[in-house]
Every structure is written in structure tokens, then in C-alpha cells.
Amino acid sequence: MASQLRLRSALALVTGAGSGIGRAVSVRLAREGATVAACDLDRAAACETVWLLGGQGSEEVAPGGTHAAFQADVSEAGSVRRLLEQVQACFSRPPSVVVSCAGITRDEVLLRMSEDDWDKVIAVNLKLPCYSPHQGIFLVTQAAAQALVSSGCHGSIINISSIVGKVGNMGQTNYAASKAGVIGLTQTAARELGRHGIRCNSVLPGFITTPMTQKVPQKVLDKMWQMWSHSWHLKTVDTSQGPQWKSLEVFSCNCLTDPGLCLLPHHSTRPPADEDSEFPGYKRGGSVWL
């Protein structure tokens, strides 16, 4: 029961809440006692998430204290501002927890990557143009911070990056650069907003099965499985494990949730065969974070 009440006074805004990591985060926050404002470009998907949480499924009818769904194109600054206004009007306060779940991939090796694929991924994962349905980390972070500062409230902003932003990954120069940008943005925001009592942290997942990663060709998944099958498995979204938004003192950190991409074998083409290998710190069934 104590665990369920940990966030009982928190209002959490989750963007990209209609599926994947965003939906799993919404479920976990609600389980911890938070009231969740689930936002997605797809209204039906956001309402489905709220239904899973036991809420009303629409911002127009949700009374105070229940979960609510919101539709917004968070790639557009005006839409993001209206979203924050709607959330505050619905719950009579700004969200004290904001989780931005974002990202697309356009994978290709550096030698063959097109400028268009580079531009789209950088734009979507950091700011985004109007053609993208995904979440703008910069726009949401800025708008949430402005709402908290203007109301004199403390809060927590969590941006979903990727372990690829830390260690890179073959065929993902654009994605790695964009997610490294999310890390840098979050760290800088933490320095600027800490004096206002606003914590900014980023979460760096490894490979997790979501609608986005379902587009990865099977042959690529098979190769990944061959490389790391002895030490990890491809993860599905698990609402019962992973980072817990319970630290009240951490103002800036990058939380790694990687199931294997950070294994020391980045020095080689495949992981070592056993624990007595030449790679110090390697441990079967675990990972070493660099």
C-alpha cells in the first residue's frame, strides 16, 4: 500500500501515452498513486490508456482527481501551450511530473544515409516539424517548466532518451545524435531549473518492443539475438520494473535501463564467451554500464 501511495499527490502529464513506453509509464504512475493526464496525437489511443487506468477517457468530462486523456500535436508550440492550459484548467494546477516519450528511427549506415533521413530523426526526436506525430522534447520541457515556474510549484521533468545516445549503435548515426541531444538538453535544463525546485532527468532505455521498434527488420532482430542471446533478451514494456520516479533529491541524472547494449563487447563484434574473458567487469547475465 505504501508503494501505491508514493505519488498520491502528484499530477503527471505523459506525452506519447497512447502506446509503448508512454502507456507503460502512465500505468506505473497511476499504480503509484498519481493522477495521470495522458496525451497523444491519437485521441482514441490516449482514451484507451486512460480506460486502462480506470479514468474517464476525455478531458471534457474528467472531474478533479481522476485520470484524463488529452489530444495534442506536441510538435507545434501553440498546441503544447494549449495542452498545458487544458491540463491546468482540468485539474486546477500544473502537472508536477512531466514525462516526454519520443522518437522515430530511420536507420541506415553512415555511408548511405540520406540527408532527409538525418533531418527527420533530428527534428522529430529533439524539436520536430509539423509533419511528425511524435513528441517534441524541447517544446514540452520548455512549456512544462514555464508553467511550474509561473505557478511557483516544484516538479519533475523526465525525458526519454536512449542508451544509443550514450554508446552509439551501427546504422543509427541520426538516432544516436538525436538521443545524445536529449541527454544534453536535459542536463542543461537541470542546471537552469534546479534553483526553481524543478528536477530534470533522462531515462536511457535499451531495446524495448514498442510500435516503433516493430518496424525493425526481422533479420536485424535475429542478428541482435545472436549477439546477445546468452546475456539478455529483447524486452517488452514492463510496467512493474525499471526506473521508479521516487527520488526526491536527484536533480540531474541519466538513468540507464539497458538490457545489454552497454556490455563491454563494444570493443568487439560479439560478447565474450565466458566470465574469464579478457574483458574486465563482464558478468554473464548482467551488463556493465559505461
Catalytic residues: 175
Dihedral of alpha carbons 40, 216, 161, 76, sign: negative
Residue from 103, 234, 87, 107 nearest 159 by CA: 103
Taking residue 64's Cβ as centre, other Cβ atoms within 10 Å add up to 11
Alpha helices in the chain (DSSP H): 20-31, 43-53, 77-91, 115-122, 137-151, 164-167, 173-193, 218-228
Q: Which residue type, as a one-letter code, is found at position 273?
A: A
Q: Give strand pairing partners of 12.
A: 36, 97
Contacts of 153 (CB under 8 A, 6+ apart): 93, 94, 96, 197
How far from the centroid of its chain's Cα atoms is residue 99's Cα? 7
Taking residue 178's Cβ as centre, other Cβ atoms within 10 Å add up to 28
Q: Are 69 and 47 in contact (CB under 8 A)?
A: yes
